[in-house]
Amino acid sequence: MTSRPAHVLLADPAWKFGDALPGKGRGASKHYATMPVNEIQRFPLPPIADDCWLFLWRVSAMPQEALDVAKTWGFRVVSEVVWVKAPPVGRVGDKNKKSVLDRTIRTFEKDDGSLAAALETMGNEARKVTIGMGHSVRMAHEVCLIAKRGRPTRNSPLNVPSVFFAPRGEHSAKPEAFYALVERFAPGPYVELFARRQRKGWVCLGDEAGGP
């Protein structure tokens, strides 16, 4: 673990829903152990800097619970990022060519700040989305709250958009483009709670993350 306290804390809690969905693979509880809100609020946090950012993934059915968790952990919510779930590469446009979406994702991960211009090139193809579960509407996006405590620093220039497009992966897994966004947003040290795998340059803590 890093010897310095986290300047950026990322958490994707295993939220426990109040209902159950039919089917062997539908619902978080079919994939991993879930936690009620009061357990998430009491979850032991790693060393955190006095001035620190929090990226907290929430679920659409529990917006207040996510705000409560952030407050209990000592953070104030100031903004949010939206992940629009685009079709996997190969289902957008010509299968024999790199899609506009694929090029945009690669640009986001590697460019020097021209993401806004890249997004403008996506056109109608990027507006196709992959829908998931939902009781009122079928969810095609996820929201990550941005919160802070103290006065944490940000990277410059301020070129991080509030929305990004990326294909959906395994259940609950977040795309690489999101981690690139976080690293572009603020300097580390970076610590991820409830992590599913180890990541270079991060301290990743979670039952599924394994060792470094």
Domain membership of residue 141 (yes or no) is no
Distance (Å, whole) CA 32 – CA 129 = 26
Give the CA-trace dihedral at 81, 193, 86, 117, to 10 degrees.
50
Q: At what angle do helices 100-110 and 176-185 cross, to 10 degrees?
A: 40
Domain membership of residue 97 (yes or no) is yes
Tell me what pLDDT residue 22 has: 47
The pairing of beta strand 76-86 with beta strand 141-149: antiparallel
The pLDDT profile of the chain, 212 residues, written as one tens digit per residue, is: 456 899 999 999 989 876 454 445 444 444 457 899 999 999 999 999 999 999 999 998 899 999 999 999 999 999 999 999 887 755 444 444 445 455 555 555 555 555 555 445 444 444 565 555 555 566 688 999 999 999 999 998 888 999 998 887 776 689 999 999 999 999 999 999 999 889 999 999 987 656 54
As given in the structure block, the two tokens for residue 139 are 């969810």
Distance (Å, whole) CA 54 – CA 191 = 10
Domain membership of residue 139 (yes or no) is no
Tell me what pLDDT residue 153 has: 97
Tell me what percent of the chain is helix, strand and coil, each rounded to the nearest 5: 25, 25, 50
Tell me what pLDDT residue 65 has: 96
Total domains in the chain come to 1
Domain span holding position 173: 6-16+30-134+148-205
Tell me what pLDDT residue 206 has: 82
Domain membership of residue 23 (yes or no) is no
Domain membership of residue 111 (yes or no) is yes
Tell me what pLDDT residue 105 has: 52
158 Cβ contact partners less than 8 Å away, ≥ 6 residues apart = none
Which among 116, 131, 145 has a CA at the least distance from the CA of 11?
A: 145
Tell me what pLDDT residue 115 has: 53
Q: Which residues of 86-104 are buried (b: 16+ CB within 10 A; e: fewer)?
A: bbebeebbeeeeebbbbeb
With H, G, I as helix, E, B as strand and everything else as coil, classify residue 105: helix
Domain membership of residue 117 (yes or no) is yes
Q: How many residues does the chain have?
A: 212
Handedness of CA 49, 190, 184, 79 (dihedral sign): negative
| Residue 6: half-sphere exposure toward Cβ, Cα within 13 Å | 25
Domain membership of residue 104 (yes or no) is yes
As given in the structure block, the two tokens for residue 161 are 């958009």
Query: CA of 37: how far to CAs of 30, 40, 120, 127, in Å?
Result: 18, 5, 39, 34
Tell me what pLDDT residue 198 has: 92
